Structure 1
Amino acid sequence: MLVLMTADSTYDSESTAPATRKELLGRIAHGDQAAFGELYDEIAPRVLGLVKRLLVDHAQSEEVTQEIFLEIWQSATRFEPTRGGASTWIMTMAHRRAVDRIRASQAGRDRDQKIGIRDLAVEYDHVSETVEVRIEHERVKKAMSRLTELQREAVSLAYYGGFSHSEVAERLDIPLGTVKTRLRDGMIRLRDELGVAS
C-alpha cells in the first residue's frame, strides 16, 4: 500500500508540474486560451521590460506588448522548437516589433522635418510641390483600393477621419480588438503596396 501511494504521489507531482513555454506554445497553436493566459502571466513582464528599454515611452511599450501577444496567438503554429527555445522566439519577436515601432516613429519625424523644411523655404516651386502631392495622393488612393472593404473602412476612419481606436470601434459597432487587427493588417498591406521598407 505504501508503494502504491508513493507511485500515486509521484504521478500527481508530474501531472501538476507547470508546463514549459514550449508546451504552452504548442497548446496555443491549437487554440488553447488557458495556455495563452498562462504564457502571458509568465512572460509578459519580461516582454514589456525589453520593449520599454527600447521605446522608453510606457504607453507605447504597453501597446507594442499587446501587439506582440496578438502575434504570438496568431502565429504560434509557426514556432519551431528545433530552431530555438520558446523564450528566444518570443523575445526575438518582441525586439523586432519594438525596433519596427522605432523605425516608424523615425520615418514620421523625418517626413515631418522634410515638410517643415519645405514650408520654411522662402522660395520653392509650387508646380513641383503640387505634382508631388498629387502623385503621392494617387499612390495612396491606389494602395487603399487594394485593401479589403473592412480594412479600408477602419483605416479611413482612423487615419483620415482622425478617430481614436475606441471611437472607430463604437462607430462600426465592433470590438476594439477587431479594430486594432483590421488597422494593423490594413497598414501592413498599405506598406507593402507603397513599397515602404519595414
Structure 2
Amino acid sequence: MLVDMVIDGIDVPEDGTDPVDVAGLLIERTANGDREAFAELYDMLSPRAFGLILRVVVDRAQSEEVLQEVFLEVWQSAARFAPNKGQGRSWLLTIAHRRAIDRVRSAQASHNRDIRAGFRDLGAAPESVAEQVELRLESERIAGALQQLPDAQREAITLAYYGGYSQSEIAALTGAPLGTVKTRMRDGLTRLRVEMGVTR
C-alpha cells in the first residue's frame, strides 16, 4: 500500500482511499504525453495490477508480459479515460483484468487446439468432449449474465471472483465505502442468479 506518497503536492492516505483520484490525474497528464506522470503511474499501480494479473494468469512470466501490454495500452489510450465515469485506478485495473482474461482465453484456445490435434493424430475422440462443451457453454452463460449487471456490481464481482480480492481490498481499489461494496456484491449476485435462472 502506498504510504503518504506525494504526487504534485497531493497526499495519498495510508488507508488506500483516493478522494482526489491521484491515478486519474496522472492518466490525464499521460494523455498529454507526460512521460514523468506515466512513470509515476507505473510506480503507483504496477504492483497492484501485477497482483491482479498473476491471480488470473497464474504463470509469472506471462503475467509480466501482460503487465507490459497493460501499460502500453494505458500509454496509447490514456486520452479515452473519462474521469466523470470512475477513478483512474479502476480504469487501469479493468484494463489489466481484461488483458489477463484475454491471455488465459488465448492459452486455453491453444491448449484445446493441441488436444484436438493430438486426438486426431491418435484417431480417437476425447472421452470428455461433452463435459468440455458443457463447461464452455456455462462459462459463456456466466459471461453473458455478468454483462447484464450495472457496471459497479459487475466490477465488484469480477474483482472478487476473478481477481481474488477481499471486499475491503475492493473498497480500497474502487474508492467506494466497504458497505457500498458489500451491497453491490449482494445485489449483483442476486441479479446474477436471476439472469442465470437459478431458483434456489
Relative to the length of structure 1, the TM-score reads: 0.53
Specify which of 10, 14, 19 is matched with residue 17 of structure 1. 10
Distance across 1 between alignment mates of 2:46 and 2:73: 13
**AA partner of residue 26 (structure 2):** L
**AA partner of residue 21 (structure 1):** A
Long gaps (5+) in structure 2:
1-5, 12-20, 125-200
State how many pairs are aligned.
Answer: 110
Rg: which structure is higher? 1
Long gaps (5+) in structure 1:
1-12, 123-198
- Following TM superposition, by how much is the alpha carbon of 1:17 offset from its aligned partner in structure 2, in angstroms? 2.7
1:94-123: CA deviation from partner (whole Å, max 9, x where unpaired): 00000000000000011111111110017x
Specify which of 111, 116, 119 is matched with residue 118 of structure 2. 116
Note the 1:28-177 alignment, pairs <5 A. 28-121=30-123
**AA partner of residue 44 (structure 1):** S
Higher relative contact order (CA 8 A, sep 6+): 2
**AA partner of residue 98 (structure 2):** R
Q: Is the 8 A contact 2:24 2:87 kept in 1?
A: yes
**AA partner of residue 100 (structure 1):** D
- Specify which structure has the higher proportion of helix: 1
1:60-107: CA deviation from partner (whole Å, max 9, x where unpaired): 110000000000000000001111111110111100000000000000
User: What is the identity percentage for the equivalent residue pairs of Structure 1 and Structure 2?
Assistant: 50
CA RMSD after TM alignment: 1.9
Question: Runs of 4 or more off by more than 2 Å in structure 1?
Answer: 13-19
Relative to the length of structure 2, the TM-score reads: 0.52
**AA partner of residue 78 (structure 2):** A
